[in-house]
C-alpha cells in the first residue's frame, strides 16, 4: 500500500499540471482527461482491495483510500486523481447512520421524516473530528502520488445530500425530498444552510490537507425544475464557492480551482457559469457547441462523453472523442465522461478513451 513520504518541504513537486492549467483557462499542449468514478469496480484490483471490507470502513481507512485512488493511475495516463471517498460522509458527520446494502446501495437507517427530525442533527460540526480520516487520506495520497498529477477533493452539494437524507437512499422520483421543498420551505432552507456550512468547512479542510482542486457534485439537480433549482440549489452552490474562497484566503491556503457538476441542469448552465466556479461539468445530454454558447468564454468546461460510449469498439471510442474535441475545442476544456464509469466496463476501453483524448487533442493543436 501507499508509503507516507515525509519531506521537509512538504509535498512533492507537481510534474503534470495540465489539468490545473486547463481549469484556470491557461493554454495546454493536450486536453487533460480524468473520469468520474475512475477508482471503481470496473477494475479487478479495486474489487480485490475492497473484497473483505465494508464500504464505509474502506472510506474511513486512509491507507485503502490512497491505494484505491492510485490504482487507475497505474493503468492509465490520466491527468488528475480524485480522492476515493463518498458524498454521504457529510450526513454521517451530521450524526446520521448510513450503511451500504449489497444490491441496493447506500441506505439511511433513520431518514429524516418530519421537520422535528432536524433537531437530531449536529448543529455544529467539527469537520476535523468527524471527517479527519478523509483529510488523512488526501495528505497520504498527495505524498504517494509523488507529484505525478494533481489530486481532486470533492463533496456532494446541499440539495443532493438533503435528498438522500430524506429519501433514505436512491430514488427515481425524489418525491419525499421534493415534497419538503413544497410543504416545508423554511425547514428545507434550514437544512440546506446547515449542509452548506459543513460542506464549506469540509472543502477548505481538504485543501489544507493537500487537495489541489475541488469538485461539488449536485448529482440530483435533474430532479428539480428551473424554479426549484433557483430557490433551493443555486443559492447554496454560489455560497459555497464564495465562502470556500474567502476562507482559503483567510487561512493563507492555495486558491484552488473549483468545479461544479450539476447533472441534468441544462436550464441552469448560464447561472452555473456565473456561480463562482472556474469549471462547469456537463453530463452527456447537451451538445458541446450549445454548452459553450450558454456558458461563455470565462469558464472551462468539463465532460461530457456518454459513459455508455465506452461499450463501443475502441475505434468507435476514438471517433466519438475526436468529435467531442472538435465540438468543445481543445482549450479551456477538460475531457471526462458525462457521469461515472459503470462497474461492467472494460478497463481497456477506459484506456482507449484516455489515449484518444491525448492523441486527438495534440493533433488538433498542431494543425
Q: In this structure, what C-alpha cell is assigned to residue 208? A: 489544507
First to last CA, the chain: 43
Per-residue CA distances from 234 to 24, 264, 265, 275 (Å) = 22, 14, 11, 8
Could you read off the pLDDT of 259-304 as tens digits, one per residue? 999 999 999 999 999 999 999 999 999 999 999 999 999 999 999 9
Tell me the C-alpha distance between 152 and 182, whole Å. Answer: 35
Could you read off the pLDDT of 111-169 as tens digits, one per residue? 999 999 999 999 999 999 999 999 999 999 999 999 999 999 999 999 999 999 999 99
Could you read off the pLDDT of 305-358 as tens digits, one per residue? 999 999 999 999 999 999 999 999 999 999 999 999 999 999 999 999 999 999
Beta strand pairing call for 98-101 and 105-108 = antiparallel
Instruction: Give the pLDDT of residue 6.
Output: 44
| Res 8 pLDDT > 50 | no
- In the chain, DSSP assigns E strands to 81-82, 98-101, 105-108, 151-156, 213-218, 258-262, 279-281, 300-305, 333-337
Tell me the C-alpha distance between 257 and 237, whole Å. Answer: 15
**Structure confidence at residue 54 as a pLDDT band (50, 70, 90):** very high
3-state SS assignment for residue 217? strand
| Res 22 pLDDT > 80 | yes
Mean pLDDT within 93-117: 96
**Structure confidence at residue 45 as a pLDDT band (50, 70, 90):** very high
Q: Contact at 8 Å (CB) between 80 and 19?
A: yes
Per-residue CA distances from 107 to 36, 118, 191, 339 (Å) = 22, 18, 19, 21
More confident residue, 86 or 51: 86
Instruction: Give the pLDDT of residue 9.
Output: 53
| Res 24 pLDDT > 50 | yes
Tell me the C-alpha distance between 232 and 180, whole Å. Answer: 11
Q: Contact at 8 Å (CB) between 204 and 247?
A: yes
Q: Which CATH architecture has domain 17-366?
A: Alpha-Beta Barrel (3.20)
| Res 1 pLDDT > 80 | no
Q: Percentage of the chain surpassing pLDDT 90?
A: 96
Residues acting as catalytic residues: 37, 41, 50, 86, 164
pTM above 0.95, yes or no: yes
Instruction: Give the pLDDT of residue 2.
Output: 54
Cis amide bond preceding 304, omega within 30: yes
More confident residue, 103 or 329: 329
The residues near 309 (Cβ < 8 Å, ≥ 6 apart) are 316, 317, 320
| Res 246 pLDDT > 50 | yes
Per-residue CA distances from 210 to 93, 136, 199, 214, 258 (Å) = 21, 9, 17, 11, 14
Instruction: Give the pLDDT of residue 52.
Output: 81
Amino acid at each position: 500500500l501507499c508509503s507516507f513520504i515525509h519531506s521537509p518541504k512538504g509535498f512533492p513537486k507537481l510534474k503534470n499540471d495540465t489539468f490545473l492549467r486547463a481549469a484556470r483557462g491557461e493554454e495546454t499542449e493536450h486536453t487533460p482527461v480524468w473520469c468520474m468514478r475512475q477508482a471503481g469496480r470496473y477494475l479487478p484490483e479495486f474489487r480485490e482491495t475492497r473484497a473483505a471490507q465494508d464500504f464505509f470502513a474502506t472510506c474511513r481507512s486512509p491507507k485503502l483510500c490512497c491505494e484505491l485512488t492510485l490504482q487507475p493511475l497505474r493503468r492509465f495516463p490520466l491527468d488528475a486523481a480524485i480522492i476515493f471517498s463518498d458524498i454521504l460522509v457529510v450526513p454521517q458527520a451530521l450524526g446520521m447512520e448510513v450503511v451500504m446494502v449489497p444490491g441496493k446501495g447506500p441506505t439511511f437507517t433513520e431518514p429524516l421524516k418530519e421537520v422535528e427530525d432536524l433537531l437530531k442533527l449536529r448543529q455544529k460540526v467539527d469537520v476535523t473530528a468527524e471527517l479527519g480520516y478523509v483529510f488523512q487520506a488526501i495528505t497520504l495520497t498527495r505524498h504517494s502520488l509523488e507529484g505525478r498529477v494533481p489530486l481532486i477533493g470533492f463533496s456532494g452539494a446541499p440539495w443532493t445530500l438533503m435528498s438522500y437524507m430524506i429519501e433514505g437512499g436512491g430514488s427515481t422520483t425524489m418525491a419525499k425530498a421534493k415534497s419538503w421543498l413544497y410543504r416545508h420551505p423554511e425547514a428545507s432552507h434550514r437544512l440546506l444552510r446547515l449542509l452548506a456550512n459543513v460542506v464549506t468547512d469540509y472543502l477548505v479542510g481538504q485543501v489544507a490537507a493537500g487537495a489541489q482542486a475541488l469538485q461539488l457534485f449536485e448529482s440530483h439537480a435533474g430532479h428539480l425544475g428551473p424554479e426549484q433549482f433557483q430557490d433551493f440549489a443555486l443559492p447554496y452552490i454560489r455560497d459555497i464557492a464564495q465562502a470556500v474562497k474567502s476562507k482559503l484566503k483567510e487561512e493563507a491556503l492555495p486558491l484552488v480551482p473549483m468545479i461544479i457538476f450539476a447533472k441534468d441542469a441544462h436550464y441552469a448552465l448560464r447561472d452555473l457559469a456565473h456561480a463562482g466556479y472556474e469549471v462547469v461539468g456537463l453530463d452527456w445530454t447537451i451538445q458541446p457547441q450549445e454548452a459553450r454558447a450558454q456558458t461563455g468564454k470565462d469558464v472551462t468546461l468539463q465532460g461530457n462523453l456518454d459513459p455508455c460510449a465506452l461499450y463501443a469498439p475502441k475505434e468507435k471510442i476514438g471517433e466519438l472523442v475526436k468529435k467531442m474535441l472538435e465540438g468543445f475545442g481543445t482549450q479551456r476544456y477538460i475531457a471526462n465522461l458525462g457521469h461515472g464509469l459503470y462497474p461492467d466496463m472494460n478497463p481497456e476501453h477506459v484506456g482507449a478513451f484516455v489515449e484518444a483524448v491525448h492523441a486527438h487533442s495534440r493533433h488538433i493543436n498542431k494543425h
